[in-house]
Amino acid sequence: MCGILGQIELNKQINEEEFGKMLDTLIHRGPDDSGEYFNAQKNIALGHRRLSFLDLSRAGKQPLANNEKTIWITFNGEIYNYPELKEQLKNKYEFNTETDTEVILAAYQEWGIDCLQKLKGMFAFGLYDTTLNKLFLVRDRFGIKPLYYAKINHTFLFGSELKAIMASGIIPKQVNFSSLADYFVYRYIPSPKTIWQDVCKLPPAHYLELNTLTLSSSTKEYWTLKSEENFEMKEILVNEVNQILAKSVQEHTRADVPIGSFLSGGYDSSALVYYMKQAGHQPQTFSIGFEDWEKSEDQFAKIVADSLGVENTSVQANEESLKLLNLMANVYDEPIADISIIPTYIVSKLAQTKVKAVLSGEGADEIFGGYTWQHEFLSKKKRWFDFFFSKDTVSFYANSMAMGWFDSDELKQLLHPNLHKFIPMDVHWFYRKHFNKNLSPLKSIQMMDMKCFMGELVLTKIDRASMANSLEVRVPFLDHTLFEKLFSIPEKDYYNPNQTKELLFQNIKNYLPKEILDRKKQGFVGPDSYYMNLEFYKKELANSSLVKHHIINQKYLDKLLTETYNWKLWKILVMEKWFRKWID
């Protein structure tokens, strides 16, 4: 994986030394090499930090240009179907490297920006077409790889992480208080907002087209998941899913270095290790557990590893691990209050000691219907009378996602009165934006899971935690052909209320131990005692910077600190740590 950076100036030349310093903030994303491109006028620059997997030679150095030096690219990600595309384009383009990056250049040269429809993988890139005076910023369909941008006065900046853009010194450090209010509702800041007033996230499945002569721009969504109701025999469907997953794992393990895997002992990661074995790999696997917890995942991971005959290395988190929360503000750039931000960082640090990349199971719950709230929603939906008079879909989903409920009234108690004007009329606007009433009940929840929970929270967490440790995480379940396949059939054909992730289960049931197959769904969490030590919060939130700067009310905080169990404290503490790092 890599870090990318770009800058365009209308009225002055770019300071090369300052640009290099910005690029250095991304060294953790690409410690193997770095490169810069400046146009002749020195007003357009592209930067790249490289974590190399394909064509480890200097030929793979970026930014990379086409043969005529008219198209330049700085690319972060992996194009998994690049050999097939290269075969298709080899008579139209003279290839000089073995990289997937050059295949993007060739594809763009042949099909223009419509080449995005051909790409299969995880990616974020900036592509500069000198003949058209256009810059294209592109983000993959699911948002696996990040991309931020900012335009202020006569300057345009983009980068893999906020810290690179803010290092320019050009963007004022002004908090977007609307984003701050959103954070307490969602646990993250939804696209296209960021925590900073003048910086945006490019949403998943979108590209931005920028005129480099005027800095005028527009964004466009290039992929949407369409729902159909095509009937398919169960046996045929199970086999098709098996073929898609087997191929996806094969594609995701293409590299000139070994690829390992995270392993939790759940269906998803266990299935990936099984498919890796089927493809002829002998992966090293990595797990994390919690001290003195009977549900600790590392014990289940060992069962799977022993059964499949692979090496497993594990680490255990404890109360001391919570001290890493001070580091998370720098790792994540903007506040994100997922409860597994620290465990994900720890297991990534462990894996990086032995491999440069791992597979991970993100996406399986979304597409196969594995989340508990999906099951609860459908169960409630069957009781039409109860459902109709209780909650609509968005309200149900918001409650399921809350992890510390904040609505408008609660935000008014939390936030200083000066900030009340930033509280949105509809605090659940982002869920509502991605709720499609024309979808079937399960698919409507799955779409919000994909666009909201996974696209904004889960994938952000996994990218930052892994890349902070110079580790690439690949997610084979996020194959867009798999999502398109299951959305093309009725939900009853892939959802079984009596068997979680039915289609995945059918493909692994003969190859994993019974205690794993019978294991109840468990998210990537830890024991409540790990997060609900009230004395810890009292100590960490003493002399709060958020209170000092009139962001939150001390009276409200004091009230929370008398309660024995409240996830709101975790959200507040994560924001507190971010504020101290970046503002105070």
Angle at 118 (CA atoms; ends 84, 209), nearest 5 degrees: 140
Active site residue 2: yes
205 contacts 434 by C-beta, under 8 angstroms: no
Question: E strand or H helix at 127, and its extent?
Answer: strand 121-129
> Which distant-in-sequence residues (6+ apart) come within 8 Å of 52 by Cβ?
32, 33, 60, 256
Q: Are 287 and 297 in contact (CB under 8 A)?
A: yes
DSSP H or E stretch at residue 444: helix 441-448
**Which alpha helices (DSSP H) does 112-218 contain, by range?**
162-166, 177-186
Closest CA to 165 of 143, 128, 194: 194
Structure tokens at 153: 């006065």
Question: What's the order of all strands across the beta sheet hosting 64-65?
Answer: 64-65, 71-79, 121-129, 134-139, 206-211, 217-221
Q: How far is CA 564 from CA 281, 399, 535, 560, in A?
A: 48, 20, 10, 8
DSSP element (H, E) containing 486: helix 480-486
Q: Are strands 472-474 and 357-359 parallel, antiparallel or unpaired?
A: parallel
DSSP string of 289-354, one letter each residue: EETT-TT-HHHHHHHHHHHHT--EEEEEE-GGGGGGHHHHHHHHSS----TTHHHHHHHHHHHHTT
Percentages helix, strand, coil for the chain (3-state, rounded to 5) are 45, 15, 40
Q: 82: part of which helix (H) or strand (E)?
A: helix 82-89
Which H or E element spans position 247? Answer: helix 234-252
**What tokens does 566 get?**
């409240």
Q: With contact defined as beta carbons under 8 Å apart, do 379 and 565 qualify?
A: no
- Active-site residues, by number, are 2
